[in-house]
Chain A
């Protein structure tokens, strides 16, 4: 079955394109997805599909089968088998971005093929379920692009200011910035614990979503923001 979703985000097409070069991060946007390993353009993982009475776990993998930078189009081919041998799920996701200056129109076309028991659940319910899950997937992609719009000021050349200030700030707030310099995963946790109330809130809401999905650059930038705010509010 073919399912189509589209949305628009307030970032330029190049930024948007950059967001999705990491196959693992794309995969993890799918609700219930866990990526267990990445190798180049391929990821392995599982998707836990939970909807009302149905709970299925698909194990499988996905690959970028096409990455067309010039046209801002990529295709991910994902295939999974139900853990209990109940059938398979295959999704070919084609995402195209159309730059409109400061914003980008994104179209996601998914060719979904579900075999076995779930496809026979009755009354075509699986189609509705798939549509709903894909909707959540797309919403996550959209959210990610929206967040990159927020984070962009921190990650773009201008954050060079907070970055340099992080250095001078480091000696002044010796214990905390030292932790940002170390592996981001660790940095994420100590910062909220020690920051002020404001920074805690920020960390609690934004960090859990992003830490899992984003890698180094953005986390570091965010932690820097926290530190800056903390510094300001002290």
Chain B
């Protein structure tokens, strides 16, 4: 037999900065976003939304709207009733969790401003919008609870029928689970003979603000009802549509076409999707709903929103011993699909990279009459990293020592991996020393510290601050059994199928659902290396439940770690499956066969054949061994054995203009260890984007409500998103400690930048003015807040008194959620 030696490039794909396959169609506008989809007879929907945060719906008069030109029909909550299904919470964090019933369109009471009360179906989007204005709703305004701390007092209830605003209480206690000592003992010891630092921090409410507004099209006319949605979770939506609306799962097809960013904000089952589904089924015609940006800001779920009380205990030499965390987390008006699970995901991360004797995490999730809150880039881990990295700086200030030294004294040493933390997580690998050393050098740490001192001594108008964030995070969601033990409603496995086409191309199906991550490129690189086929010959299919029938979608930095592993396992299965056929065709013994670079060769000879030739032979099936099926395609469902733990050291230099409070970033260096890197270009994109989002929380973004419960930061005029004009260049580096829990040794990078950067920036700001007696500035660190901290004796935005308090005095006035925001 002739052997065509196509000789794929010897250079491996993994590690190459391949330009993305996706970009051609995205940049030239050739792709079709959900809103571009047009079907015959399609109707457009417009939503009528409540202006009130909490009100009874007394009546809805749709007559004028119904009579409008080209209006098909108008529906209210009462019209659709239970046929709407519900927007469910898939992760009740405790069995006792109080979960309001979430009807997509309520029938008698609205619980947040922006909630949908009626939907108009019309021939064009403009006419639907015009008619929506004519729907006349009579409300009876009810008292609304808006402030998170007030919600905890249960004086005004977000859902009066539930009797309380407290949804759940969740605790992780090292003593309780046998991974450490009792926290109160350790704190008492420190009070007696060590150091105790108590601080309260505000994690302000953020809006994910993805670039593509959400859009959904439902076509009820086919054998399967098809929903296209700009979503991160097509598989989960399919499952929940079946579970809550009664349509058999096999009659449901969900497609996530190209999706323009999600960041956790599209990890949701939304009232808009469910209403479009119900209306389309009811009318029997395709229906489309695309939100406006104003609707997006007010109705797509928000992120973060916590009050954090932290107590850190340490010896007087500066070794940390105990950490106690008390969180109040705002869920908004409903519990989202992940809901309370988001703050809980931080439970294992407040202890971070440090070694503790005792640790306790307490979290109370609360309902308020505001937009619901759910996952947003980092989902629980940025909140945790912020808290601990701020506290480590406070400890350093208390000791009068360099904050990097204090961290190094306390972190897990390279030789100690794998290390089981006080929270019970086992970190597989890491090298904090190497990342930090590299970052320090790239940053010019010593020179900047010297400059800081000079400026301080001179009393310069512009002061310099250096902020540090040495972080780890847990991603690669997730080992299914662990999720089960946490009461999470689904598993954490991922699926992949590799199909060897007769002409030598490879089709890969993945259950992950990219929305900007570049999976098509990175996965092609992986498969190309594994199978020894050209990068261009690999096609990655995803996002359509009819094509990718099985998967758990994309969030939590899981696609590469879990999805990539499934890919590798499937590819390896293909190689194994093809061996007997290759041996047969080469007339050799299976045991004498070797596979490398896409070619099966007989050991000790120059005989061989390409895997693509085996694929063709399989297709022809003219000559294959007895007992073998003529097929070499293979699939794998991979359940990770552990989370993955990327880590990094981020250093930020910020200049503060003490005359105006303006903050200017001077330099930002990060060295992230994300295990083995598949595509450095994609990684750089993830890091840059993540950094900007994290920095934005530190300096610019905040969702603000007025006392009527109206979101006053309802447009980008007031919700400040930075652009390239506002950020500096970032210096990015990597060290590599491969993961020991997956074949490729990868750790995930999607959220790392966001998790690390916020405290790096805030630490820098506080560091710049600490010598003026300041130890905190509430986020976002607006110029006004910075200036007031510097120039007033009882600084606004300072969450606690300047000196460390021995106890959290319950009689201290609480801080309003919107303090300093001018609301």
Contact = CB atoms under 8 A, between A and B. Distances in A.
A and B touch in the complex (CB under 8 A): yes
Interface of A: 1, 81, 83-88, 90, 113-117, 119-120, 122-124
A124 B822 contact: yes
B137 to A, nearest CB: 8
Contacts of B133: 83-86
Interface string B32-54: 00000000000000001001100
A115 B710 contact: yes
A90 B707 CA distance: 13
8 contacts: A83-B133, A87-B51, A114-B710, A120-B294, A120-B714, A120-B715, A120-B718, A122-B717
Contacts of A90: 141
Contact of A119 (B134, B712, B717): B712
Interface of B: 48, 51-52, 113, 132-136, 141, 294, 706-715, 717-718, 822
A95 B48 CA distance: 36
Contacts of B718: 120, 122-123
B715 A113 contact: no
A116 B712 CA distance: 9
A4 to B, nearest CB: 17
Contacts of B717: 122-123
Given A84-B133, A85-B133, A119-B706, A124 B712 contact: yes
A150 to B, nearest CB: 41
Q: For A86, A113, A114, A123, which residue has the most chain B Cβ atoms within 10 angstroms?
A: A113
A119 B704 CA distance: 12
A115 B135 contact: no
B52 A85 contact: no
Contacts, number: 50
Contacts of B822: 124
B51 A120 contact: no
B711 A120 contact: yes
B710 A120 contact: yes
Contacts of B136: 81
B48 A116 contact: no
Most buried by A among B132, B706, B707: B706
A85 B294 CA distance: 14
B51 A88 contact: yes
Contacts of B706: 1, 119
B51 A116 contact: yes
A209 B708 CA distance: 36
Contacts of B713: 120
Contacts of B113: 115-116
Given A120-B710, A124-B822, 4 more contacts: A88-B52, A119-B706, A119-B712, A120-B294
B503 to A, nearest CB: 56
A119 B708 contact: yes
Given A115-B113, A122-B715, A85 B710 contact: no
Most buried by A among B48, B708, B714: B708
Contact of A117 (B48, B132, B294, B707): B294
Contact of B708 (A85, A86, A115, A117): A115
Contacts of A115: 51-52, 113, 708-710
Contacts of B715: 120, 122
Contacts of A122: 715, 717-718
Contacts of A1: 706-707
Contacts of B710: 87, 114-116, 119-120
Contact of B132 (A85, A88, A119): A85
A55 to B, nearest CB: 14
A124 B706 CA distance: 10
A54 to B, nearest CB: 14
Given A122-B717, A123-B718, A85 B711 contact: no
A172 B771 CA distance: 92
Contacts of A85: 48, 132-135
Contacts of A119: 706, 708, 710, 712, 714
Nearest to B132: A85
Contacts of B709: 115
Contacts of B51: 87-88, 115-116
A53 to B, nearest CB: 14
A116 B709 CA distance: 10
Nearest to B141: A90
A120 B715 CA distance: 7
Nearest to B139: A88
Contacts of B132: 85
Q: Which residue, B132, B141, B710, has most C-beta atoms of chain A within 10 A?
A: B710
A161 to B, nearest CB: 53
Nearest to B711: A120
Contacts of A123: 717-718
B46 to A, nearest CB: 10
The 4 closest A-B pairs by CB, nearest first: A120-B714, A122-B717, A115-B51, A116-B51
B547 to A, nearest CB: 41
